[in-house]
Amino acid sequence: MVNQQLDFLLPAPEEKPQILHQAMRYSVFAGGKRLRPVLLLATAEALEKASAPFLPFACALELIHTYSLIHDDLPAMDDDDLRRGLPTCHKKFGEAQAILAGDALLTYAFNLMIMCRGKGISPDRLLWAIDEVAFGAGLKGMIVGQVADMSAENKAISLDELKYIHRHKTGALFRVSVRAGGILSGADDDQLRHLTSYAENMGLAFQITDDILDVVGDEKKLGKPVGSDEKKQKATYPALLGLEESKALAREAVEQAIRFLDPFGPGAEPLRQVATSLIDRES
Ligand code: GRG
């Protein structure tokens, strides 16, 4: 559903300026898991709401996520040549086009969110959800986290500092994906509190398993010891806690996340499955 909607909503590749629309589509359709839109739609299901009217909003989260990856890969940031096994956007289209494709994805995301007006969602709730997305992607989330992450490069940091980086850099967008699903579906304060705690624990589990995949992947590819990274020294959970303790922490966070869904009925099963899938994920 999300892929179809993204295809429908994004400008066609032959529309001018072609290079912009092709660069946007190249990164959006490069094989992402669609975790953030799935979280929003699954939250609506947990609250027994039809999720279809929220599809443009869910797609907006994927556009914001894609923009963040394009910009993160740029030479001024992580300087990566590959993303999901393909050349990064700037390697394929050039740096200036990649910057603009990222900018266009971020701004178009707000058009998509506004597109949900009048679809049985109160205007106040829609504005509330958009406001949370703006903060989660920006000054209370992803951008602040990215700045903290860059400042921490090649430095020894504490577990608390690592948690701060991840809570903002990646956790905030997961949190807002779930909260926006709740807000748009008319969740009450108590439901929203439970859903937020689910998202925070799920985000933590995601980040720990992401770090584990990184170091285990590096080890397999390069025969390097766990925790070493010759490009830029970045703190990771396995580097700070060791592999086994990191795995245990991830399992604990998944269990906690699922416990916070106790007040919800069988409709919350997709949210439970998202959390469980993190334990054995391979990408
Ligand atoms: C440049 C403003 C700006 C922010 C960048 C989120 C971020 C901040 C950078 C991403 C760097 C990174 C790879 C972080 C690890 C966690 C993460 C976001 C992994 C990718 O998310 P998935 O697994 O990606 O959901 P897919 O490929 O499935 O879409």
Pocket test of ligand 1: the residue of 61, 70, 72 to mutate, having most ligand atoms within 8 Å of its CB, is 72
Instruction: Name the domain count of the chain.
Output: 1
User: What CA–CA distances, in Å, run from 183 to 12, 29, 126, 283?
Assistant: 31, 28, 8, 30
From first CA to last CA, the distance across the chain in angstroms is 21
Q: What are phi and psi of 201, to 5 degrees?
A: -70, -40
In a domain, 92, yes or no: yes
In a domain, 173, yes or no: yes
Q: What letter represents residue 121's amino acid?
A: I
In a domain, 156, yes or no: yes
State the Cα–Cα distance between residues 245 and 98, nearest whole angstrom: 38
C-beta atoms surrounding 74 within 10 Å: 17
Tens digits of per-residue pLDDT, 40-77? 999 999 999 999 999 999 999 999 999 999 999 999 99
User: What CA–CA distances, in Å, run from 263 to 191, 210, 266, 271?
Assistant: 8, 29, 10, 13
In a domain, 84, yes or no: yes
Domain that holds residue 102: 2-277
State the Cα–Cα distance between residues 168 and 150, nearest whole angstrom: 13
The alpha helices in 138-236, defined as continuous H runs, are: 142-151, 159-166, 172-184, 189-222
Measured from CB, residues less than 6 Å from any atom of ligand 1 are 32-33, 35, 68-69, 71-72, 77, 84, 142-143, 146, 169-170, 210
In the predicted model, what is the mean pLDDT of the chain? 94
Which atom number of ligand 1 is nearest to the Cα of residue 36? 25
Confidence (pLDDT) at 219: 55
Tens digits of per-residue pLDDT, 194-203? 999 999 999 9
Contact (CB, 8 A) for 87 and 3: no
Q: Per-residue pLDDT for 34 more than 70?
A: yes
Per-residue pLDDT, averaged over 221-247, amounts to 72
The CATH number of residue 6's host domain is 1.10.600.10
Tens digits of per-residue pLDDT, 98-141? 999 999 999 999 999 999 998 889 999 999 999 999 999 999 99
In a domain, 282, yes or no: no
In a domain, 155, yes or no: yes
In a domain, 86, yes or no: yes
Task: Report which protein residue has its CA nearest ligand 1's atom 14.
Answer: 170
Share of the chain above pLDDT 90, in %: 89
Confidence (pLDDT) at 182: 98
ipTM score of complex? 0.94
In a domain, 283, yes or no: no
